[in-house]
Amino acid sequence: MKEQLNRIEGSAKKELSKISDPKRLEEFRVKFLGKKGELTQILKQMGKLSAEERPVIGQLANKVRSDIEAAVNRRREELKSAAEQMRLAAETLDVTMPGKMQKIGRSHPLDVTLEQVEEVFLGMGFDIVEGPEVETDHYCFEALNMPKHHPARDTQDTFYINENVLLRTQTSSVQIRTMEKMRPPIRIISPGRVYRSDAVDATHSPLFHQIEGLVIDKGITMADLKGTLELLMKRLYGEEARVRFRPHHFPYTEPSAEVDLMCFNCHGKGCSMCKQEGWVELLGSGMVHPKVLADCGIDPEVYSGFAFGIGLERITMGRYSINDMRLLYDNDMRFLEQF
């Protein structure tokens, strides 16, 4: 039995030196030290020994088991260390190699234009105000001098949620909310998304963006409106930009005017972009109607003001010579990478 124990120890150490895989190491441990291992099988025969021989063989068997267990643990640590070194070597970074170029995103042309418009108005002392896109009939129509059954409502093609709740068709509703909360002087713009039931084509979309402006103070005249819009157009389109005002009608303003911009493509000579007219319709504007002021608690005998609304998409298309509004929404990288 002593010879068998010595043979098992020698065989185990010899075999252990050749193991280089953690899985094989576990198989080795089970082979020699498991419940059905070689060392266990030897110990099961100790019952046949005499009382004098048992302590001697038992002591030797425990030493052999202890030596093999210690050797297995050492080998496990060696394999673990070797695997760690291999992993570190594989993850080593060569800092002298050139870096990979990362694709950098760009601002959307609508965002760029909106930021520039906001910068112009902030420079003139305006505040930027936002409001809810799901609006009530009162703020979107009635407070803007368009009661129920008003003919102007027929042109809005509104998305109604129920009889009194709708998706706003204009950000003028923000102006009403502002006039109810603030006392003059008021100088604000209210950019945001608006919704109208339009068919999608090159110049229309059921979702688009508007920038509404409002100024209320003592002594505000049409000249202030004209000067403000002319400054905006020159900042956006250059010092040569020219605008013209045409009489119009809006329930919210009186008097009212449509504002055209001289075609940036033909400079007033006439081309396909401006439909041979030399001018491009840009926005609606006018002096705030006295009834609207009074309904918001502002005395029209003391205060006056002007308002305007301009489509962000229309400005952007003009600035970048884009002839189809759908390009702004399609997320086509070939288009967006040009900006």
**pLDDT score for 40:** 66
What is the DSSP track for 47-69? GGS-TTHHHHHHHHHHHHHHHHH
Q: What is the pLDDT of residues 103-125, one digit of tens each?
A: 777 889 999 999 999 999 999 99
Q: What is the pLDDT of residue 80?
A: 85
Q: Specify which of 2-6, 25-29, 68-72, 98-102 reaches the highest per-range mean pLDDT.
A: 98-102
User: What pLDDT band is residue 44 in, cutting at 50, 70 and 90?
Assistant: low
Is the entire prediction scored with pTM above 0.85?
Answer: no
Q: Helix axis angle, 109-123 relative to 312-320, nearest 10°?
A: 110
Q: What 3-state class would DSSP assign to 28?
A: helix
pLDDT score at 291: 94
Q: Indicate if the pLDDT at residue 25 is higher than 90.
A: no
Per-residue exposure over 207-225, b if at least 16 CB sit within 10 Å of its own CB, e if not: ebbbbbbbbbeeebeeebb
36 pLDDT band, cuts 50/70/90, is low
Residue 214's pLDDT band (cuts 50, 70, 90)? very high
Among 104-108, 174-178, 264-268, the minimum mean pLDDT is found in 264-268
Q: By percentage, how much of the chain surpasses pLDDT 90?
A: 39
Is residue 41 over pLDDT 80? no
Confidence bin at 266 (pLDDT 50/70/90) = confident
For 9, the 3-state DSSP assignment is: helix
User: Within the chain, where are the H helices?
Assistant: 2-16, 22-33, 38-43, 53-90, 109-123, 137-140, 172-181, 222-237, 290-295, 312-320, 333-336
Q: Where are the beta strands (DSSP E) in 141-293?
A: 165-167, 186-195, 207-217, 243-250, 253-262, 279-288
Residue 35 has pLDDT above 80, yes or no: no
Would you state the pLDDT for residue 37? 66
Lowest mean pLDDT among 48-52, 115-119, 199-203, 206-210: 48-52
pLDDT of residue 131: 93
> In this predicted model, which residue has the larger pLDDT, 317 or 21?
317
Token pair recorded at residue 68: 């093999």
Higher pLDDT: 129 or 12? It is 129
- pLDDT number for residue 241: 83
pLDDT tens for 56-73 read 666 776 777 777 778 778
pLDDT of res. 43:
66
Question: Does the pLDDT of residue 50 top 70, yes or no?
Answer: no
4 vs 220 pLDDT, higher one: 220
The chain-wide mean pLDDT, for the chain, equals 85
Residue 306: strand pairing partners: 215, 287
pLDDT for 247 beyond 90? yes
Q: Is the pLDDT of residue 224 over 70?
A: yes
Q: Is the pLDDT of residue 136 over 80?
A: yes
Does 188 or 60 have the greater pLDDT score? 188
